[in-house]
Amino acid sequence: MKGYSLFSKRLGRYKAYVLGVVASIVIVDLIGLLPPWVLGDGIDYVRKGGGDVRTFGLFAFCFVAIEVCRACMRFTWRRIAWDFSRKVELDLRNEFFAKSVKLPPAFFDGTTIGDLMSRATSDIDQVRMFFGMGLLTLFDTTTIVVTTLPILIWLNPRLTLYTTLPLPFLAVICWRIFIETHRRSRAVQEQMGDVTARVVENLNGIRVVKAYATEEIEIERFEDLSNVQVSLSLRLARIQAVFFPVFTIVLETGTLLVLWIGGSSVVRGDLTVGDFVRYTLYLGWLTGPMVGLGWTLSLYQRGIASIERLNEILLRPDPVDGASAPAATGDIEFRDLTFCFGEGRPNALEHVSFTVRAGTKVAIVGRTGSGKTTLVQLLTRLYDAPRGSIFLGGRDVRDIPAAELRKLVAFVPQDGFLFSDTLAENIGFSMETVDRAAVEAAAKAACLEEAITTFPEGYDQIVGERGVTLSGGQKQRACLARAFAADAPILILDDAFSSVDAETEDKVVANVREQGKGRTVFVISHRLSSIMDADQIVVLDKGKVVATGSHEELLKKAGVYADLWRKQQLQESLR
Amino acid sequence: MGLTHTAFMEEDVKKGFDPRLARRFFAYVLRYKGLLWSATILLFFFRISAIAAPWITKVAVDRYMNHPELPLDERLAGIHWLVLAFLGVMFVKIVTNYAETLTTQMLGQRVMHDMRMSVFRHLQTLSLSFFSRNPVGRLMTRVTSDVSALNEMLTSGVVALAGDLVTLLAAIGIMLHYDWRLTLVSFAVVPPMMLGTRIFRRVSRQIYRITRAKIARLAAYLSENLAGMKVVQLFRRERENSRRFGEYGRDLYNTHLRATLYSAIFFPFVDVMRATAVALIFWYGGYRTHQGHVTLGTLIAFISLVELSFQPLRELAEKYNILQSAMAAAEKIFGILDEKPEVLDAAQTEALPDVKGDVSFESVSFAYDAGNDVLHDISFRAKPGEMVALVGPTGSGKTSIVNLLCRFWDVRQGSVLVDGHDVRKVAQRDLRKRIAIVLQDVFLFTGTVAENIAMGDRTMPRERIEAAARAVHADGFIRSLPGGYDARVSERGSTFSAGQRQLIAFARAMAADPRIIILDEATSNIDTETEILIQDAMRTLLAGRTSVVIAHRLSTIHRADRIVVLHHGKIVEQGKHADLVAAKGMYARLHELQFEEAEAAPAAK
């Protein structure tokens, strides 16, 4: 009963809702017992030759009045039940988000956004469906069986024995059908994904396809996939097509028995026509919930699978954080730092040792993959370096809580990641409430102001997919402005100008110099002209420090650095 | 908090009934006349048999149950006969329903397959200019969801509509046959119910759109946060972003509640209407029964028949919605099918027999957009077996030259000749069969390595594939893969290194055995060992073939028979390496900058 405890733990939080749902269902189902009764009495009245228009009116009125009461209760019932299931969804989603912001980047490296999104959407949906429709149907079925069955037995015990016997089987068959339908429709959806992927691949590679004139072959390959799609869809159709016939067989076998046994009883005078109608109506009423029961079972099964998938995230332990103590800036020391991203992977950094005095500017230079980004990610504890290898103001960064540490750091990442939000919101990302003046000052320092004036909404312009698409350089400058606005004592620029054009770069670099005064600045850059004023330049190669020194010192050494410098000078002259 | 949900409002395209589009669509359906007819006939019998049950009950009540004058035996026998009849009807109902569902689905799936293939096949004929204008995502939708929308119209729209009509007409027919007054009374609740349905559809459609927009916003926010989690954590926005996410979620929750409010009102409303109909039948029908105009059985049958005819009436509005979406989808699909390729084969193509590989550009000017020339008066020639190297900074027009040689685009002025034939006068297929192209960013397809080398050609013998791979030194690493030549290539070949991808592309070109090779050398870092393999493979690949190479390596440049130096779409210099270096022009400087590293690197290692 592992599944049961998974659900009951969650259910416990919503006692009021559950009570409300159960109470309203019971009331609705009890009222529901009345109409067949009234109708049966009415028909017997007609049969006995009653002809008083007023009596007919009374019957009709009672019938409608009962139905109105029931409708009102049903309204309440739906409201509570839907509210309940949506509440479950909302809470689960919020828990999911709250957990994911706590998980370290290493977790995200090992998974895909698609997988996480599918947990956050379809799995949560499955759980919601169980708590909404599933539980509802379960209570509904129970109530209806408990109330209707005695009436049926009372009306005609023998008939009831025959007619209700197949009903549990109906529930089981429906459950199997629903499970099988779900399985097959998943297969169809997955195949649909393949078809879509094939189309996307073909369109993305259309140049190659055309160049090799392999259009016909592509069509053939697509046709194969499309044919599989057809056969899988028909496999689904075959199981779906079974549902109605099965339902009909059970429902109508009941009616048939009623007609046969009940009809004969009426003829013999053991049963009135009114009772006959009543009986038919009650029996019909019992069949629907059996289908529902089957459905609930399938929802339960799927719900458990989903909640287990969700728990894989929700029950993941929070990363171990440093002791809670406020941190202050100071000298930064890398002490024989060796780091790799996982067992068996090569070392990303090896025996890295150097010290950065507070308030100085250090540049890190090296080829792609030499470990530059890793170094600054370790400093900000995006990944955790081994204890005793990175110190800030004399304290091991592992002892400083990540949030405290990051308060001291303003980071400009390589990829220029911005949120689909207004520019002001993006730049003021670090502020609790966006201070427009500070945002504007930061944008100005990042040489973004001019670009902003060209946007129709200025600072309120939404950027990204749903708004204005920024150029690579604009994105990087926006990220730079975001870091300036954070106003932290340590500024880290991870190859932040790679897409900024040369002219603007000079201005930005000058502004960075201005903004960097009194701050500890880390610059990772391929363009050496932007780092030549650094107090210290660290040259990395394959995770090792191969040289350190100032620009002049390194030029004199005639190594990798001097070589790069000469080449870039030449490049300048070609512009 | 700048996100307005209108930004997420998906355009809800609706289109009225367009007979022209419908005709085009039904041309596809009519290919399957057999299935169409079977589905229609089966549907007819299914719906009729569904109507028969209430009628049998009526007969049972009137003739036998409520008929004390008849002898008991006769009455019981009658009941038994009716039970048998009921059994028969039930059998027909089950069988026809099952068969009808299947045939309709078969019809729908076949039509969908045909449409999918039409769109896909047509896309293959369109020119690259079309693909540069239309984003992949949008075109993909045409082949997938738009086609599905048409299928939905066919299976749950048109077919179900026909079925509903049968049910309605049959039910009304029976009711009218027994008592037209009672029929009128039974349908008295139809106008208010239709009105209620209309209102409900309208508000629910609107709220449905808002809900979808809010779901999209929430999903976008979530996936954005997951993608940018580092930034979120670096700027300590965990709490604030959780709060916002909660706010969006709360907002969606409220919208959901509003939506359920409508359905919570609507469905009980329908129940009340149905009950009212039954009450009316009972009230007036009971009176008519007493008067002797109507039998008790008829009264009971009326109650069942009214229930049966309510369902189709309620769903009419929904069917109309399906039709509208399908029309919009049809318009988009046929829009693609009507798209004409911009680069067309001439009506009378010249045959391109054994190509020797003489390539020449004669005063070629070209623009992607009219009035914005990217190539100006380009002339150069590569004699059979020669190698021409294109050199120049980014944006100088190297790729455009490649595009014209493959005839992905047509020149604006001048001409591109292959063996003296203007490329515009030969069939594109014939031309491209003689040319192989190796791009810098090697595009690998999902499938096996062998399939990638054969470009999906299943008829290509394995020996040829392996021979090609061996010739370009790809054989070694391919054999070391799990599965060798049958190793799976993941999406876009992300598991291969840049060098390995190059080698596979070389093998692909080798297997195609063209006369002309276009090669865009890779600039990415490739380890020394692979680099040596690549250099040697290139020599094999280019031997005896005419080649146009966008060169990034010194060794390539040195070997070239002619170097064409491009700048801003113009040829600034042309000649042999030594001559150009001696001229001390643009090439000399480019050379120093671009190719020095390649020269220095092997020396350093």
Residue-level pLDDT at A300: 86
Chain B, window 307-366: residues with a beta carbon less than 8 angstroms from a chain A beta carbon: none
Instruction: Tell me, yes or no, whether A165 and A297 share the same domain.
Output: yes
Residue-level pLDDT at B509: 92
Q: Is the pLDDT of residue B602 over 50?
A: no
Q: Which residues of B touch A213 (CB under 8 A)?
A: 428-429, 432-433
CATH number at residue A429: 3.40.50.300
Q: Do B234 and A219 touch (CB under 8 A)?
A: no
A414 touches chain B (CB under 8 A): no
Residue-level pLDDT at B593: 66
How far is the first Cα of chain A from the last one, in angstroms, to the nearest whole number? 73
Q: Do B432 and A486 touch (CB under 8 A)?
A: no
Identify the residue whose tokens are 């009596």. Answer: A55
How many structural domains comprise chain A? 2
Instruction: Write the CA distances from B208 to A383, B10, B258, B537, integer angstroms.
Output: 43, 11, 10, 60
* Amino acid in the structure at residue B261: L
DSSP string covering A62-114, please? Answer: HHHHHHHHHHHHHHHHHHHHHHHHHHHHHHHHHHHHHHHTTS-HHHHHTS-HH
Instruction: Write the CA distances from A434 to A9, A302, A423, A427, B402, integer angstroms.
Output: 40, 44, 11, 9, 51
Q: Do B457 and A214 touch (CB under 8 A)?
A: yes
Q: Is the pLDDT of residue B564 over 80?
A: yes
Question: Which tokens is B237 given?
Answer: 């926005």
Residue-level pLDDT at B281: 87
Domain assignment present for A256: yes
Domain assignment present for A323: no
Instruction: Tell me, yes or no, whether A555 and A429 share the same domain.
Output: yes
Q: Which residues of A touch B124 (CB under 8 A)?
A: 202, 209, 215, 218-219
Coil, strand or helix at A155: helix
Contacts of B292 (CB under 8 A, 6+ apart): none
- Alpha-helical (H) ranges within B292-397 are 296-337
Domain assignment present for A284: yes
Instruction: Write the CA distances from B458 to A217, B62, B398, B448, B465, integer angstroms.
Output: 9, 72, 34, 12, 11
Q: Do B53 and A197 touch (CB under 8 A)?
A: no
Q: Which residues of A touch B242 (CB under 8 A)?
A: 94, 97-98, 101
B57 touches chain A (CB under 8 A): yes
Q: Percentage of chain B surpassing pLDDT 90? A: 27
Instruction: Tell me, yes or no, whether A215 and A70 share the same domain.
Output: yes
Question: What is the rounded CA–CA span in Å between residue B376 and residue B383?
Answer: 22
Question: Which tokens is B313 given?
Answer: 């009436």
Q: Do B97 and A219 touch (CB under 8 A)?
A: no
Residue-level pLDDT at B5: 39
By C-alpha distance, the chain A residue nearest B120 is A219
Contacts of A167 (CB under 8 A, 6+ apart): A250, A286, A287, A290
- More reliable by pLDDT, B394 or A395: A395
Residue-level pLDDT at A196: 86
Q: pLDDT by residue for chain A (575 residues), tens digit each?
A: 455 676 777 777 888 888 888 888 889 888 888 888 888 888 888 777 777 778 888 888 888 899 899 888 888 888 888 889 999 999 999 999 999 998 988 888 778 788 888 889 888 988 898 888 888 888 888 888 888 888 888 888 888 888 888 788 888 888 888 889 888 988 888 888 888 888 888 888 888 888 888 888 899 989 999 999 999 999 999 998 888 888 788 777 887 888 788 888 887 877 787 888 788 888 877 877 777 888 888 888 888 888 888 988 998 888 877 776 667 788 999 999 999 887 777 888 999 999 999 999 999 988 767 888 899 999 999 888 999 999 998 889 888 888 888 889 999 987 778 888 899 999 998 888 888 999 999 999 888 888 888 888 889 988 876 667 787 788 889 999 999 998 899 999 988 877 777 677 778 888 888 888 889 999 998 778 778 889 999 998 888 998 899 988 888 887 778 877 877 776 665 54
Domain assignment present for A116: yes
Residue-level pLDDT at B255: 92
By C-alpha distance, the chain A residue nearest B286 is A46
Half-sphere exposure of B124 (CA within 13 A, CB side): 22
Q: Judging by beta carbons within 10 Å of its beta carbon (0-12, 13-18, 19+), is residue B195 exposed, middle or buried?
A: exposed
By C-alpha distance, the chain B residue nearest A415 is B228
Q: Which residues of B touch A411 (CB under 8 A)?
A: 234-235
pLDDT tens digits, B194-236: 888 888 888 888 888 888 889 888 988 998 898 888 888 888 8
Question: Which tokens is A30 given?
Answer: 């009890």
By C-alpha distance, the chain A residue nearest B269 is A71
Chain B, window 374-413: residues with a beta carbon less than 8 angstroms from a chain A beta carbon: 393, 406, 408
B32 touches chain A (CB under 8 A): no
Structural domain that includes position A427: 332-574
Residue-level pLDDT at B506: 92
A208 touches chain B (CB under 8 A): yes
Domain assignment present for A250: yes
Mutate to test the interface with B, among A163, A217, A221, A384 (most CBs of B within 10 A): A217
A175, A373, A442, A384: which is closest to A293 by C-alpha?
Answer: A175
Closest residue to B228, CB basis, from A43, A419, A466 = A419
Q: Which residues of B touch A227 (CB under 8 A)?
A: 113
- What is the helix (H) or strand (E) element at residue B382, kind and residue range? strand B373-382
Question: What is the rounded CA–CA span in Å between residue A130 and residue A92?
Answer: 13
Q: Which residues of B touch A75 (CB under 8 A)?
A: 264-265, 268
Instruction: Tell me, yes or no, whether A202 and A351 share the same domain.
Output: no
Question: What is the rounded CA–CA span in Å between residue A211 and residue A231?
Answer: 33
Closest residue to A75, CB basis, from B117, B264, B596 = B264
Q: What interface predicted TM-score (ipTM) does this complex get?
A: 0.84
Q: Do B120 and A202 touch (CB under 8 A)?
A: yes
CATH number at residue A83: 1.20.1560.10
Chain A, window 85-124: residues with a beta carbon less than 8 angstroms from a chain B beta carbon: 86-87, 89-90, 93-94, 97-98, 100-103, 105, 108, 113, 116-117, 120-121
Question: What is the rounded CA–CA span in Å between residue A24 and residue A70?
Answer: 10
Q: Do B232 and A206 touch (CB under 8 A)?
A: no
B283 touches chain A (CB under 8 A): yes
Of A262, A284, A314, the residue that ends a domain is A314
Instruction: Write the CA distances from B175 to A34, A43, A92, B86, integer angstroms.
Output: 27, 19, 53, 20
Instruction: Tell me, yes or no, whether A268 and A229 share the same domain.
Output: yes
Minimum distance, in Å, between the CA of residue A1 and any CA atom of chain B: 31
Domain assignment present for A140: yes
B50 touches chain A (CB under 8 A): no
Instruction: Tell me, yes or no, whether A130 and A264 share the same domain.
Output: yes
Coil, strand or helix at A358: coil
- The answer to whether B195 touches B317, Cβ cutoff 8 Å, is no
- More reliable by pLDDT, B310 or A94: A94
Instruction: Tell me, yes or no, whether A246 and A375 share the same domain.
Output: no
Domain assignment present for A321: no
Q: Label residue B397 by pLDDT band (50, 70, 90).
A: confident
Question: What is the rounded CA–CA span in Å between residue A42 and residue B290?
Answer: 12
Closest residue to B3, CB basis, from A248, A417, A421 = A421
A437 touches chain B (CB under 8 A): no
Q: Which residues of B touch A72 (CB under 8 A)?
A: 268
Mutate to test the interface with B, among A419, A425, A573 (most CBs of B within 10 A): A419
By C-alpha distance, the chain A residue nearest B115 is A226
Q: Which residues of A220-244 are buried (b: 16+ CB within 10 A; e: fewer)?
A: ebbeebbeebbebbbebbebbbbbb
pLDDT tens digits, B425-447: 999 888 888 898 888 778 888 88
A224 touches chain B (CB under 8 A): no
By C-alpha distance, the chain B residue nearest A573 is B589
pLDDT tens digits, A399-420: 888 888 888 999 998 777 888 8
Closest residue to A101, CB basis, from B238, B252, B265 = B238
Domain assignment present for A320: no
What does pLDDT average to over chain A? Answer: 85
By C-alpha distance, the chain A residue nearest B228 is A417
Chain A, window 276-335: residues with a beta carbon less than 8 angstroms from a chain B beta carbon: 276-277, 280
Q: Do A60 and B269 touch (CB under 8 A)?
A: no
Q: Which residues of A touch B79 (CB under 8 A)?
A: 259-260, 263-264, 267
Q: How many CB atoms lie within 10 A of CB A331?
A: 15
For B187-218, what is the HEC assignment? HHHHHHHHHHHHHHHHHHHHHHHHHHHHHHHH
Residue-level pLDDT at B2: 37
